[in-house]
Amino acid sequence: MENIDIARIFDDIADVLELKDENPFRIRSYRRAARVIHDMPEDAKTLVAEGRITEVRGIGKGLAEKIEDIIKTGTTEFYEEIKQDAFFHLTELLNIPGIGPKLAVKLNREIGVETVDDLEEAAVKGKLNSLEGMGEKIEEKILKGIEQYRRSTGRFTIADAITYAEAIMKTLKAIKGVSRIDIAGSLRRMRETIGDVDILVISKSAGLIMDAFTSLDSVADVLAKGDTKSSVLLRSGIQVDLRILPQASYGSALHYFTGSKDHNVVMRDRGKRMGLKVSEYGVFDTKSEKRIAGKTEKEVFRAVGLPFISPELRENSGEFEAADRGTLPHLIELDDIRGDLQMHTKATDGANTVEEMARYAKGLGYEYIAITDHSKAVRVAGGLDDKELAAHIKAIRKANDKMDGIEILSGVEVDILKDGRLDISDEVLSECDVVLAAVHSGFTMPRDEMTERIKRGIGNPLVNILAHPTGRIINEREPYEIDIEEIIREAKTQHVALELNSYPNRLDLKDVHCRAAKDAGVKISTNTDSHADLQLRNMRYGIATARRGWLEPDDVINTYSLAGLKKFLAGRRR
Ligand code: DGT
Ligand code: CA
Ligand code: CA
Ligand code: ZN
């Protein structure tokens, strides 16, 4: 149960109540609950387990009880009732732009529409025009809405969003009269998934920019077009909002539209206590109504007595307290990274040779890499057995001898079998410079068993790093059930680093768990898990997540010099 799933339950309830035309206050309170849970920076599961759930703004005792119920049982009594309601089937229709609760009920009563597919069929067959009170071209509108809905369900990975955002920025930057352009919103905060992309611009030629923006090749649909704000839907299904802003308040707007909402609320309250009004238009003296700051973000922070807070930290998860105490972290940067410790080659399921990977890594300015192909249990990837790995290690050493300017460490991503044993012998593992261990099968094990399995796996003193510790694939596969706190404790005891797998649909460990690991004194290894040389560039997503996890260079072993790294690795093998 992720926060999104819990929020979904409250939203479903609100939908059904709305379809039934129930008390609007009741509907609104369910909607609000859904929003609060959806936007929470921390895992509801963790908050409940630690008894901190009522500390979240907007969660009182009543709501907290419902959330606990959902986490424990996956549902609530009322939700089960709601699911039996005849109207429950109609909630999907509400996702279609242009269909509200009244219309949904009408379509159901008069022509028996229950699902989006039914609706599509009715529209295609021209059954809607005959209904009373339907506007012109209703069928066309609804079909367009259905198409839009099907393309835009779910959030996008950060890599998808960045790819589109950067392309758009490049085009807009080239337009005359654009003096500044920035990404704001969740993408600037580098959240692991992105709802929509927010772009801010300073320019005197608004018309020109809006025309260019709404006629980009990648645009499928223009949702709104105005002088200061336009929104488009890209063919990929990603929505992009563009705002044109005046220079004098640009810093305030950039701060406001970067969010998060929770962070903004605290800024506003903080200002209020100082006799200031903080908004997207500037920081104003409440009495004189004079603007005292707004041109730059730094100015805005300074006006409320704060140093600049990095966007990745703006989740109201302790950044204000740390700023006041002067203990904000010196966040890790991509430039701090000296090597990459997980990648695959042609020996298993990679696309490139050892030499090719090394050459590309050298081009990125790295001092070292580790080649870590799969072991035999991962049959689909052509995993190596003892003998094959031993031969591969020899080949890696040979490549290392031949190549100047970068150290190629020999390694393996060894499988942790269901009983916690590793599927490569200690004899061969001890030939490796670095050993990553990981789970690749049996994902549905009960929590206790999975936790024990992994603890046993990393209990082997030859293991240095636990790879993709929770196994999730964003938008595809939930993490397996584990006691992550227990794993963090074990990693500390065993002197094992936890991986922050930087593959953009993994980002595993995720941000809050990176922070927990850091707090427990456990080191992180940011690796790309590349299966082709170009993927070595995915390190940026790992660094983004590391920053969201408050990590500093010293928390990440890939920032160490080769000697420092070797020392860390040797620490395990006494
Ligand atoms: P997303 O798009 O769901 O990934 O998340 P954001 O954070 O980009 O959210 P978005 O696009 O709805 O709005 C961008 C920022 O604008 C958001 O982070 C904070 C600010 N903002 C928008 N609406 C509100 C609001 O009602 N209250 C406050 N305080 N800030 C808001
Ligand atoms: Ca956004
Ligand atoms: Ca937006
Ligand atoms: Zn793996």
- Which ligand has its closest atom nearest to the C-alpha of 242? 3
Q: Tokens at residue 353, please? A: 């040779």
pLDDT at res. 46: 87
pTM over 0.75: yes
Residue 289's region, left for phi above 0, alpha for psi from -120 to 50, else beta, is left
Confidence check: pLDDT of 153 > 80:
no
| Ligand 1 binding pocket mutation candidate from 40, 233, 264 (most atoms within 8 A of CB) | 264
Which atom of ligand 1 sits closest to the CA of residue 259? 18
pLDDT band, residue 18 (cuts 50/70/90): very high
Q: How far is the CA of 412 from the centre of ligand 4 (A)?
A: 10
Q: Tokens at residue 204, please? A: 């005197």
Residue range 442-452: mean pLDDT, rounded: 94
Closest residue to atom 27 of ligand 1, CA basis: 261
Closest residue to atom 31 of ligand 1, CA basis: 261
Q: Tokens at residue 225, please? A: 């077009």
pLDDT band, residue 177 (cuts 50/70/90): confident
pLDDT at res. 240: 96
Q: Which range, of 121-135, 333-347, 375-389, averages the lowest pLDDT?
A: 121-135
Q: How far is the CA of 413 from the centre of ligand 4 (A)?
A: 7
Which atom of ligand 1 sits closest to the CA of residue 264? 29
Distance CA 281, CA 268 (A): 12
pLDDT at res. 151: 62
Q: How far is the CA of 309 from the centre of ligand 2 (A)?
A: 19
pLDDT band, residue 1 (cuts 50/70/90): low
Q: How far is the CA of 52 from the centre of ligand 1 (A)?
A: 24
Which atom of ligand 1 sits closest to the CA of residue 187? 8
Confidence check: pLDDT of 41 > 70:
no
3-class DSSP assignment, residue 33: helix
Residue range 478-487: mean pLDDT, rounded: 93
pLDDT band, residue 86 (cuts 50/70/90): confident
pLDDT at res. 379: 82
Tokens 């071209």 — which residue?
A: 137
Nearest CA to 168 among 193, 196, 144, 205?
196
Is 156-244 in the same CATH topology as 3-152? no
> What length does the chain have?
574
Q: How far is the CA of 537 from the centre of ligand 4 (A)?
A: 18
Question: Helix, strand, coil proportions of the chain in percent (round to 5)?
Answer: 50, 15, 35
pLDDT tens per residue across span 228-258: 999 999 877 789 999 999 999 999 999 999 9
Confidence check: pLDDT of 95 > 90:
no
Q: Which range, of 126-135, 205-214, 564-573, averages the lowest pLDDT?
A: 126-135
Closest residue to atom 8 of ligand 1, CA basis: 185
pLDDT at res. 551: 98
Q: How far is the CA of 243 from the centre of ligand 3 (A)?
A: 10
Q: Which amino acid is at 330?
A: H
- Which ligand has its closest atom nearest to the C-alpha of 224? 3
Which atom of ligand 1 sits closest to the CA of residue 196? 2
Nearest CA to 98 among 146, 55, 49, 47?
146
Q: Do 67 and 10 form a contact (C-beta atoms < 8 A)? A: no
pLDDT tens per residue across span 387-406: 999 999 999 999 999 999 99
Residue range 429-449: mean pLDDT, rounded: 95
Closest residue to atom 20 of ligand 1, CA basis: 257
Q: Which residues sit with their C-beta closer than 6 Å to ligand 1?
A: 185-186, 191, 194-196, 198, 256-257, 259-261, 264-265
Confidence check: pLDDT of 574 > 60:
no
- Which ligand has its closest atom nearest to the C-alpha of 280? 1
SS (H, E, C) 98-164: CCCHHHHHHHHHHHCCCCHHHHHHHHHCCCCCCCCCCCCCHHHHHHHHHHHHHHHCCCEEHHHHHHH
- Which ligand has its closest atom nearest to the C-alpha of 469? 4
Residue with the bigger pLDDT between 204 and 186: it is 186
Nearest CA to 327 among 299, 312, 306?
306
CATH architecture designation of domain 3-152: Orthogonal Bundle (1.10)
Distance CA 69, CA 176 (A): 57
Q: Tokens at residue 482, please? A: 């584990």
pLDDT band, residue 128 (cuts 50/70/90): confident
Closest residue to atom 17 of ligand 1, CA basis: 259
pLDDT at res. 427: 97
pLDDT tens per residue across span 493-538: 999 999 999 999 899 999 999 999 999 999 999 999 999 898 999 9
Q: How far is the CA of 361 from the centre of ligand 2 (A)?
A: 33
Q: How far is the CA of 259 from the centre of ligand 1 (A)?
A: 6
Closest residue to atom 25 of ligand 1, CA basis: 261
Which atom of ligand 1 sits closest to the CA of residue 155? 4
CA distances for 424 relative to 347, 433, 498, angstroms: 16, 15, 20
Confidence check: pLDDT of 134 > 80:
no
Residue range 120-129: mean pLDDT, rounded: 86
pLDDT band, residue 152 (cuts 50/70/90): low
Average pLDDT, the chain: 93
Which atom of ligand 1 sits closest to the CA of residue 185? 8
Closest residue to atom 9 of ligand 1, CA basis: 185
Confidence check: pLDDT of 154 > 70:
no
Distance CA 216, CA 239 (A): 13
pLDDT tens per residue across span 288-314: 999 999 999 999 999 999 999 999 999
User: Ligand 3 is a single-atom ion; what residues have CB below 5 A from it?
Assistant: 196, 198, 241
pLDDT at res. 156: 87
CATH architecture designation of domain 156-244: 2-Layer Sandwich (3.30)
Confidence check: pLDDT of 192 > 70:
yes
Closest residue to atom 1 of ligand 1, CA basis: 195
Residue range 51-70: mean pLDDT, rounded: 89
Domain 259-325, what fold? Answer: Beta Polymerase; domain 3 (3.30.210)
Q: Which amino acid is at 406?
A: I
Which atom of ligand 1 sits closest to the CA of residue 186? 8
Which atom of ligand 1 sits closest to the CA of residue 256? 20
CATH architecture designation of domain 334-570: Alpha-Beta Barrel (3.20)
pLDDT tens per residue across span 325-373: 999 999 999 999 999 999 999 999 998 999 999 999 999 999 999 999 9
pLDDT band, residue 572 (cuts 50/70/90): confident
Residue range 15-40: mean pLDDT, rounded: 88
Indicate the domain borders of the chain.
Answer: 3-152, 156-244, 259-325, 334-570
3-class DSSP assignment, residue 289: coil
Q: How far is the CA of 196 from the centre of ligand 3 (A)?
A: 5
Q: How far is the CA of 471 from the centre of ligand 4 (A)?
A: 8
Q: Tokens at residue 417, please? A: 């079998």
pLDDT at res. 147: 78
Percentage of the chain surpassing pLDDT 90?
Answer: 73
Residue range 410-420: mean pLDDT, rounded: 97
Q: How far is the CA of 197 from the centre of ligand 2 (A)?
A: 5
Confidence check: pLDDT of 476 > 80:
no
Residue range 154-162: mean pLDDT, rounded: 85
CA distances for 494 relative to 489, 555, 562, angstroms: 9, 16, 22
Q: How far is the CA of 159 from the centre of ligand 2 (A)?
A: 14
